[in-house]
């Protein structure tokens, strides 16, 4: 018998969104994309182009004016909780210690308190938080708070993760270490990930596919398929092929502010020989 056809992990079809008010803001315009099961996809684009808004829409926190979005075949409009979502701000609860903050998302998703905290405790060393189990958020550095927020997101029992600049508050060395850690975790667990980042190198190191968005209203204007074998290392970033893809993405970002031809999300980018 033929194998069942899997729904995309994330599906966005023709989504447009305008925030009302005295000065309406047209945030997204006819956005379509796919993330297949187990795929790692990144969104890059200029500040204010709607990347974070798209993640919030997929998290069920805002509603589109037109189009549709689904997680694993289930519409997300007005239905928070279908994916594990890490916003830009860490949103740690100041009255909960490290271990309690780490377990919060899992507990809200129905995992028992004991199991959630046990799993969190086992992962503290990987996130550089060993020895801080009972620390309050105010006692943690900015980078430690960000790692704690990422741990909380990872512990949510969902197959799809939405990550909004998860390493933005980290120093360069720690950021690179966390990129390698996230790559290793993704390889082991094959979760489906949609990552928002301003770092082109980060997108290429982590992703299978990178989409470029235009300035507001955000549109998908370019797609790059990343061919590098995994696991990827710092050495990969020094190759001519990496430099070529990085140049392609930077050119696309620069061109995004000018009228450009839209690409279908199914179209593979053709690169010069």
**β-bridge pairing 25-35 and 66-71:** unpaired
Residue 101 DSSP one-character state: H
Give me the pLDDT at residue 6, please: 73
Residue 124 DSSP one-character state: T
Q: Which CATH number is 1-83+160-167+196-273's, of 3.50.50.60, 3.40.190.10, 3.40.50.300, 2.40.160.210?
A: 3.40.50.300
Phi-psi region of 171 (alpha: psi -120 to 50; beta: other; left: phi over 0): beta
Per-residue pLDDT reduced to its tens digit, 11-69: 999 999 998 878 888 999 999 999 999 999 999 998 888 999 999 999 999 999 999 99
Give me the pLDDT at residue 271, please: 44
Per-residue pLDDT reduced to its tens digit, 212-261: 999 989 999 999 999 998 888 888 888 999 999 999 999 998 887 654 44
Q: Is the pLDDT of residue 262 over 70?
A: no
Confidence of residue 272 (pLDDT cuts 50, 70, 90): very low
Confidence of residue 120 (pLDDT cuts 50, 70, 90): very high
Using alpha carbons, list the distances in angstroms from residue 131 to 42, 116, 127, 254: 33, 18, 11, 45
**β-bridge pairing 209-213 and 40-44:** parallel
Per-residue pLDDT reduced to its tens digit, 165-218: 888 767 787 788 878 878 887 887 778 999 999 889 999 999 999 999 999 899
CA 114 to CA 118: how far, in whole Å? 6
Sequence ranges of the domains in the chain: 1-83+160-167+196-273
For residue 174, which phi and psi values (nearest 5 degrees)?
A: -65, -35
Residue 5 DSSP one-character state: P
Least confident of 67-76, 161-170, 258-267: 258-267
CA dihedral for 68, 202, 187, 229, sign (positive or negative): positive
Residue 244 DSSP one-character state: H
Give me the pLDDT at residue 176, please: 82
């Amino acid at each position: 018998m033929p194998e069942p056809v899997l729904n995309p992990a994330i599906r966005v079809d023709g989504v447009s969104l305008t925030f009302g008010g005295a000065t309406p803001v047209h945030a997204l315009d006819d956005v379509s994309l796919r993330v297949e099961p187990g795929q790692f996809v990144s969104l890059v684009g200029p500040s204010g182009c709607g990347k974070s808004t798209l993640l919030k829409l997929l998290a069920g926190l805002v509603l589109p004016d037109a189009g549709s979005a689904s997680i694993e075949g289930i519409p997300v409009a007005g239905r928070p909780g279908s994916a594990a979502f890490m916003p830009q701000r860490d949103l740690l609860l100041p009255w909960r210690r490290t271990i309690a903050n780490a377990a919060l998302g899992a507990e809200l998703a129905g995992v028992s308190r004991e199991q959630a905290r046990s799993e969190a405790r086992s992962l503290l060393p990987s996130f550089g938080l060993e020895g801080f189990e009972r620390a309050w958020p105010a006692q943690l550095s900015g980078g430690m708070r960000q790692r704690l927020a990422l741990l909380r997101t990872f512990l949510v029992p969902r197959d799809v993760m939405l990550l909004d600049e998860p390493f933005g508050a980290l120093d360069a060395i720690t950021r690179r270490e966390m990129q390698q850690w996230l790559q290793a975790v993704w390889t082991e667990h094959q979760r489906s990930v949609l990552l928002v980042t301003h770092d082109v190198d980060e997108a290429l190191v982590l992703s299978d596919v990178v989409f470029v968005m235009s300035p507001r209203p955000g549109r998908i204007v370019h797609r790059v398929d990343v061919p590098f074998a995994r696991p990827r290392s710092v050495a990969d970033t020094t190759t001519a092929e990496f430099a070529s893809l990085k140049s392609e993405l930077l050119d696309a970002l620069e061109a995004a502010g000018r009228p450009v031809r839209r690409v279908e999300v199914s179209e593979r980018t053709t690169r010069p020989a």
